[in-house]
């Protein structure tokens, strides 16, 4: 239950916290974004969970570089956050206390947790109720802004949906329609990656939705597609992958498979000629949502880059 709650909290909490190994924080300027100043303490707060994870999982010889890159990423995210808040102010977009409370209640309901469990989880994350509400308010504000400026302009033509269907859901030869979840060695130790893979496999076998697990936990590019890698023929698979999936029945989940770069889990949706016969109407809404998200991400990146290019930004 706590894992589910953490997942929902993560949807609305921007990274928080201090630099690993830091002693007393000197609240000087870390960056300037137009009229806003990003302080060292703000970076420290935003970096805490990231640095804690690096200290726990990254080998000592790689830790300094990992911490340096993480700090750079946190500052970049904070710059983007300030730009969004500035844009919202210019467009006179506001969020009421009632909207924050409604969103908070929705998170609790969707996570199936009580007020006591919710507050206990906030404590584990180093947040109090007021900090959480402020973070949630900023996230709602950003979502409104993106909705007005980007989301409302996203349209997915029917012909694009059909083209994706023809490419991904039909095949001239029999094959295996697969979903995948993967964990790489590069961002953690080999043992930690295996443990993550085993944990996710247990969740999938127990009945949790494989595609949702892929979106939330997989470290592979296919996570954006719910782990869907389409229809593959046996000769297109690596040996370890072929051995893991060709013996599965539709709906089956493979053991954890070790690859040169990490660990993988596969779910077989369909095999043989059936792998190429998903009716268009049965998958149309799924394809539409996937393509809509991809278009939204593309438009958002373009939009935020335009805002950045017109802003005064200085990293100190």
- CATH number of domain containing 70: 1.10.4030.10
Do 216 and 268 fall into the same domain? Answer: yes
Q: Cα 102 vs. chain centroid, distance in angstroms?
A: 23
Classify residue 202 as exposed, middle or buried by CB count within 10 Å of its CB (0-12, 13-18, 19+): exposed
Q: Are residues 138 and 16 in the same domain?
A: yes
Cα-Cα end-to-end distance for the chain: 42
Q: How far apart are CA 205 and CA 219, in angstroms?
A: 19
What whole-number distance in Å separates Cα of residue 136 and Cα of residue 192? 31
Assess contact for 40 and 30: CB atoms under 8 A.
Answer: yes
Looking at the structure, do residues 70 and 115 belong to the same domain, yes or no? yes
Measured CA to CA, the distance from residue 263 to residue 52 in angstroms comes to 23
Q: Are residues 7 and 137 in the same domain?
A: yes
How does the average pLDDT of the chain come out, rounded?
84
Q: What is the pTM of this model?
A: 0.57
Asked whether residue 118 falls in the same domain as residue 241, the answer is: no
Instruction: Return the SS3 of 64.
Output: helix
Q: Does residue 9 carry a pLDDT above 60?
A: no
Residue pointed to by tokens 């640095």: 51
Chain centroid to CA 210: 15
Lowest mean pLDDT segment, chosen from 32-36, 80-84, 110-114:
110-114
End position of a domain, from candidates 94, 117, 149: 149
- Which pLDDT score is estimated for 268? 93
Q: How far apart are CA 17 and CA 52, in angstroms?
A: 9
Two structure tokens written together for 246: 């060709």
Tell me the C-alpha distance between 126 and 265, whole Å.
33
SS3 286: helix
**Same domain as 144, residue 183:** no
Q: Would you call 117 helix, strand, or coil by DSSP?
A: helix
CA distance 96 to 223: 34
Asked if residue 174 has pLDDT above 70, the reply is no
Residue 132 binned pLDDT confidence (cut-offs 50, 70, 90): confident
CA neighbor of 257 nearest in space, from 236, 270, 239: 239
Tell me if 283 is assigned to some domain: no
pLDDT tens per residue, range 255-307: 999 988 899 999 998 887 666 667 788 889 989 999 998 999 999 999 999 99
Shared domain for 113 and 17, answered yes or no, is: yes
> 10 Å Cβ neighbour count for 306?
10
pLDDT of residue 5: 44
Closest CA to 34 of 86, 81, 72: 86
* Residue-number span of the structural domain to which 62 is assigned: 2-149
In sequence order, the 6+-apart residues with CB closer than 8 A to the CB of 26 are: 40
Q: Which of 100, 119, 149 is the last residue of a domain?
A: 149
Q: Is there a contact between 210 and 231 (Cβ–Cβ < 8 Å)?
A: no
Two tokens, residue 255:
């053991």
Report DSSP state, residue 185: S
* Residue 294 domain-assigned (yes or no): no
**Helical H segments across 206-238, by residue range:** 210-217
Q: Determine, yes or no, domain membership for 313.
A: no
- 166 or 44: which leads in pLDDT: 44
Examine the domain organization and report whether 7 and 145 are in the same domain. yes
Residue 299 forms part of a structural domain:
no
Q: How many domains does the chain have?
A: 2
Euclidean distance between CA atoms 156 and 228, whole angstroms: 20
| 178 and 266 share one domain | yes
């Amino acid at each position: 239950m706590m894992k589910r709650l953490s997942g929902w909290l993560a949807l609305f909490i921007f990274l928080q916290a201090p630099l690993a190994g830091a002693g007393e924080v000197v609240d000087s300027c870390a960056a300037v974004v137009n009229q806003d100043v990003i302080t060292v303490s703000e970076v420290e707060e935003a970096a805490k969970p990231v640095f804690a994870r690096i200290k726990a999982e990254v080998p000592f010889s790689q830790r300094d570089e990992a911490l340096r890159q993480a700090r750079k990423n946190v500052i970049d995210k904070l710059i983007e956050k300030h730009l969004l808040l500035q844009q919202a102010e210019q467009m006179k977009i506001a969020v009421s206390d009632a909207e924050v409370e409604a969103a908070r209640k929705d998170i609790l309901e969707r996570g199936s947790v009580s007020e006591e469990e919710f507050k206990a989880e906030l404590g584990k994350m180093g947040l109090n109720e007021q900090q959480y509400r402020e973070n949630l308010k900023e996230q709602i504000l950003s979502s409104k802004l993106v909705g007005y400026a980007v989301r409302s302009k996203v349209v997915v033509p029917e012909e694009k949906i059909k083209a994706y269907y023809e490419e991904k859901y039909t095949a001239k030869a029999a094959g295996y329609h697969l979903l995948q979840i993967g964990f790489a060695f590069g961002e953690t130790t080999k043992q930690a990656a295996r443990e993550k893979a085993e944990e996710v496999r247990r969740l999938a076998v127990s009945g949790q939705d494989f595609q949702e697990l892929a979106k939330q936990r997989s470290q592979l590019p296919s996570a954006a597609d719910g782990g869907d890698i389409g229809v593959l023929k046996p000769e297109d698979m690596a040996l370890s992958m072929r051995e893991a999936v060709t013996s599965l029945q539709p709906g089956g989940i493979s053991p954890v498979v070790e690859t040169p770069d990490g660990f993988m889990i596969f779910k077989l949706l369909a095999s043989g000629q059936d792998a190429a016969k998903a009716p268009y109407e049965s998958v149309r809404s799924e394809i539409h949502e996937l393509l809509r998200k991809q278009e939204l991400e593309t438009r958002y990146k373009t939009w935020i880059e335009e805002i950045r290019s017109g802003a005064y930004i200085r990293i100190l």
